[in-house]
Amino acid sequence: MSTKVDGPKSPIISSRDELVAYVEAGTKPESEWRIGTEHEKFAFTLADHAPVPYVGKSGIAALLQGFEDRFDWKAIVEEGNIIGLSCIDCPKGGAISLEPGGQVELSGAPFDTVHETEEELRQHLARVGEIGADLGMGFLGLGFSPKWSLEATPMMPKERYRIMMRTMPRKGKHGLDMMFRTATVQVNLDFGDEADMVRKMRVGLALQPVATALFANSPFSDGKPNGYQSYRAEMWRDTDPDRTGLLPFAFEDGMGFERYVDYALDVPMYFVYRDGRYTDAAGASFRDFLAGRLAALPGARPTLDDWSDHLTTLFPDVRLKRFLEMRGADAGSLPQMLALPALWVGLLYDKTALDEASLLVADWTAEERQALRDAVPRHGLATPFREGIVLDVARQMVTLAEAGLKRRARLDASGEDERKLLAPLIETVETGDSPAVRLVADYHGPWDGDIDKVFDAAAL
């Protein structure tokens, strides 16, 4: 989730048309399409594999302070607490922020190729590893915390999370587990016009459960196997139906920027940020805010920043802001982190691959799409689908992406194109075993039921 940074006040908005124009302003010519990758990871103590608290000489705050002290990053402070870092002018810029339970997130800079994403991620992990080692801290690439209970998980001092924490339990059973105990990797991609956005969103939504199966990496909770391959994805199934899911309307006639804006207007608000503070507006309507009838701030009207903030509190499987976010994957190892942008870039940034992916999902019904989303968290690639299983679709998906990356022909310094970054997925579709399957096999085999072994196996 994003971290708010104070800056110049944005313009006040007074009409729905301005909200639509804000989103539509994300359209770009193909030459300007970029790739932004975000990933989260769990911090743990090296001594006893416990969650890392915020405070203390070896806490999360000390980790962030170490970044500011050693590297060219600027602290983001809320009520005296360092809650993130920005590095806008760095060659490999972006932001570092905290998820509610202390998950450390890198929101990467927009790059032209996945090779540059690799350079960014390697540099980030080296730096966070260097500081973490000095603090007795390691980092874990899994989609769900494998050992810690919700009660044992620390809470980061961000006011927006306090508001969400009060609201989440009213809307679903697993909202707090989602906030405090899950970690993900996502890729953000551009679109050329409204029609291109719609095609990419539809392909992304339809195939998101398949991506979840490919990257499934959260088979443990509370110190033992939980019977799921992506427990993270299972948590999202009962978090908040108002703001999650597959967006069935996206497949209907008339889908476009206006239709998404109408959906966003109907999703209840969480908060409004004013003068460095968050005002609880949970459950209020952005439509009322637009009309100056927000009970929490009588007479106030929204700014473009308020609209941008509201869009970040929507959590569908593919989210539209001024770009599209693919949100279905568990956090994982560095090769898995890189495979995710490679997969979606190959599918969505090459016209032939996008055409073929669109045809692949064109006759899938809303019921079939939902059935996949419901079954994949437990059964992964073995989920039945039509006359076969999800693995059959995953093989087609990876093959299309591989061909798309070949046609893109973006080479690194050694002359290799982005296909090399699909290697983990090629292995997965060849063996039929997701990362989760392999972890559970290790748990029952060489680990001899010792969950603490995962802190070595999945360390970043």
Structural domains present in the chain: 16-267+314-457 (3.30.590.20)
Coil vs helix vs strand at 137: strand
Mind listing the pLDDT tens digit of every residue in the chain (460 residues)? 555 555 457 899 989 999 999 999 999 999 999 999 999 999 999 999 999 999 999 999 999 999 999 998 999 999 999 999 998 777 666 899 999 999 999 999 999 999 999 999 999 999 999 999 999 999 999 999 999 999 999 999 999 999 999 999 999 999 999 999 999 999 999 999 999 999 999 999 999 999 999 999 999 999 999 999 999 999 999 999 999 999 999 999 999 999 999 999 999 999 999 888 899 999 999 999 999 999 999 999 999 999 999 999 999 999 999 999 999 999 999 999 999 999 999 999 999 999 999 999 999 999 999 999 999 999 999 999 999 999 999 999 999 999 999 999 999 999 999 999 999 999 999 999 999 999 999 999 999 999 999 999 999 9
Give the residue among 250, 219, 408, 252 at the shortest CA–CA distance from 319: 250
Torsion of CA 417, 326, 32, 87, to 10 degrees: -90
Strand pairing report for 94-98 and 81-86: antiparallel
Strand pairing report for 74-78 and 81-86: antiparallel
Dist. CA 65–CA 110, nearest whole Å: 25
pLDDT value for 449: 98
What sign has the CA pseudo-torsion 165, 314, 357, 332? negative
pTM of structure: 0.96
How does DSSP assign 47-75, residue by residue? TT-PBPPSSSTTSHHHHHHHHHHHSS-EE
pLDDT value for 10: 84
DSSP 8-state assignment for residue 28: -
Dist. CA 377–CA 366, nearest whole Å: 18
Dist. CA 342–CA 329, nearest whole Å: 13
Lookup result for tokens 């095609």: 199
pLDDT value for 1: 53
pLDDT value for 91: 65
Coil vs helix vs strand at 383: coil
Lookup result for tokens 């953000």: 188
User: CA separation (Å) from 70 to 43, 55, 74, 234, 259?
Assistant: 19, 19, 11, 39, 46
